[in-house]
Amino acid sequence: MATIKRTVEVELSTTGLDPQGRPMRTPLVTATDGSQVAVQAPPALEPELEGEHMLINLGPQHPATHGVLRLVLELDGETVVRCIPHIGYLHCGFEKIGEYRQYNQIIPWTDREDYLNSMGNNVAFALGAERLFGIDITERCTVLRVISMELSRIMSHVVWLGTFCIDIGAFTPFLWLFQERENIYDLLERWVGARLTTSATRVGGMAADIPTGWTDALETFLARFPRTLNEVDRVLTKNGIWVGRTVGLGAMSADEALNYGLSGPMLRASGVAYDVRKDFPYLDYETYEFDVPVGSSGDVYDRFLVRFEEMRQSVRILQQAVRRLPDGPINVDDHRVILPPKSKATSEMESMIHHFKQVMEGPRPPVGECYVPVESPKGEKGYYMVSDGTPKPVRWRIRPPSYVNLSAISKMVEGHLLSDVIAINASIDIVMGEIDR
């Protein structure tokens, strides 16, 4: 597993560890005598107000809270002393609804929880359901699913980076990145007909095969997208304002990050090289060549670098996947879960019975339970499904990565400035649809 090389040499000083054992890193400035010194916090302007705490309410309608997150902050001057998060404004009861739906009917709900990664969620759900049914999918379907997962990873990271830029005050990269997101949406639209809520998979296969010429369009995108990334890289990575606003914020050590259950880029930025694709592989990810970027200080800047590198690695995976895409069927030949073709259903008795049973009753998995985690852009995501042998699951549990990542926000923001709360919150990459479900 490779560690990313920093493409940038930012002058930083590690002035030591703070009382919580987190590294304090501050940008260096050139002093009047030419030496490099760490930036010092300014002295309090109004010493007589010291000790007076103020309560402010950030959100739920604040644009920088990425949805409807509400943070109650206790401030000492501009420093956050305590942070009490409140969530649940978007709670829709997905897990409850899932208990009243057949397996294929749940797939549209998976679009709507982490709506930036809808195709990845579809694949994650299908993988879990197929384990529950005991189905192994076809070769072509495996590769198509890898393509859809990595495309949605890029899509999610692009939106994350764009909105992160806006939060910190950089507007230009937002436009460039959203242009690329639009290009991915066009690809998805050509494939499954929908842009945001794709519902692309079915238990045992995909809803649709890719249309003719689609891989050419994907390759055109893959050739162009790294150029956009390089442009954004040039604008942001060495930018003094960007570095000053992100370095040293919200740092989590490796042990803390593990103990808080962080996953995905948040965990890897803290130096833990845990990637589900490498450690508990699915969809033959072990046969693709890609590196897992790992940070060294677990601060906001490292999370930015890790996610940025992940987009490049996703492009690598996509290029390999397009090259190896085999011909063949996309659906398994299993009459329990896959509807027979219309021509057969209207002409053959056997197929008609299967069609009728599937539509009227729904496929029945055997009694059992499974949890198949995947590496979603936010972290380890999995659907824990319990079946009692009926067509509807007894329990359908979403393991939401950004929910667990957000639970560490109090730990991360306390001791930082109010304006840094926005940057730290943005670096978690939360999607409230997934958190509240």
Partner 1 sequence: MSTPFTPVSPGSALPGPPSVPATLRNVPHRGGDVNPSAEALRQKFGSAVQRVDVVWGETTVVVDRARVQDIVRWLHDDASQQYDYLSDVTAVEFRDLEQPIEVVWHLRSLPFRRFLRLKALLEKGTPLEVPSVFPIYKGADWLERECYDMFGIRFAGHPDLRRILMWEQYKEGFPLRKDFPLRGRFSRAEQLRQALAANPEARYSMEELSIADAFEDLPQDMRTRIRSGEKTGE
Residues 409-428 that bind partner 1 (CB under 8 A): 411
Query: CB-wise, 190 or 399, nearer to partner 1?
Result: 399
Q: Are 232 and 278 in contact (CB under 8 A)?
A: no
Interface with partner 1: number of residues (CB under 8 A): 77
Q: Site for partner 1 (CB under 8 A): which residue of 408, 413, 431, 432? A: 408
Phi, psi of 296 (to 5 degrees): -125, -15
- What is the CB neighbour count within 10 angstroms for residue 144? 25
Q: CA 123, CA 81: separation in Å to the nearest integer?
A: 41
> Does residue 363 have a cis peptide bond before it, meaning omega lies within 30 degrees of 0?
no
Query: CB-wise, 191 or 285, nearer to partner 1?
Result: 285
Q: Are 394 and 99 in contact (CB under 8 A)?
A: yes
Beta bridge partners of residue 72, listed in sequence order = 57, 84
Q: Site for partner 1 (CB under 8 A): which residue of 2, 17, 37, 175? A: 17
Stretch that binds partner 1, among 108-116, 193-201, 311-319, 365-373 (CB under 8 A): 365-373
Name the minimum Å distance from CB 323 to partner 1: 19
- Tokens for 235, please give them: 């604008």
Q: Site for partner 1 (CB under 8 A): which residue of 61, 220, 230, 259? A: 259
Q: Does 139 bind partner 1 (CB under 8 A)?
A: no
Stretch that binds partner 1, among 30-38, 130-138, 154-162, 334-342 (CB under 8 A): 130-138
- What is the CB neighbour count within 10 angstroms for residue 7? 11
Q: Does 100 bind partner 1 (CB under 8 A)?
A: yes
Residues 179-198 that bind partner 1 (CB under 8 A): none
Residue 205 DSSP code: E
- Tokens for 371, please give them: 């949890």
- Tokens for 3, please give them: 């560690």
User: Chain centroid to CA 120: how far?
Assistant: 9
Q: Does 403 bind partner 1 (CB under 8 A)?
A: yes
Q: CA 240, CA 243: separation in Å to the nearest integer?
A: 5
Name the minimum Å distance from CB 437 to partner 1: 8
Q: Does 54 bind partner 1 (CB under 8 A)?
A: yes
Q: Does 336 bind partner 1 (CB under 8 A)?
A: no
Residue 417 DSSP code: B
Q: Does 395 bind partner 1 (CB under 8 A)?
A: yes
Q: Does 341 bind partner 1 (CB under 8 A)?
A: no
Stretch that binds partner 1, among 36-44, 155-163, 184-192, 376-384 (CB under 8 A): 376-384
Stretch that binds partner 1, among 102-110, 218-226, 312-320, 363-371 (CB under 8 A): 363-371
In one letter, which amino acid is 203? V
Q: CA 194, CA 210: separation in Å to the nearest integer?
A: 13
Residues 59-98 that bind partner 1 (CB under 8 A): 72, 74-75, 82, 84, 87-88, 91, 93, 95-97
List of residues 6+ apart from 277 with CB closer than 8 A? 285, 290, 292, 375
List of residues 6+ apart from 90 with CB closer than 8 A? 67, 68, 432, 433, 435, 436
Residues 275-334 that bind partner 1 (CB under 8 A): 278-286, 294, 296-298
Query: CB-wise, 303 or 355, nearer to partner 1?
Result: 303
Stretch that binds partner 1, among 158-166, 270-278, 319-327, 350-358 (CB under 8 A): 270-278
Name the minimum Å distance from CB 7 to partner 1: 14
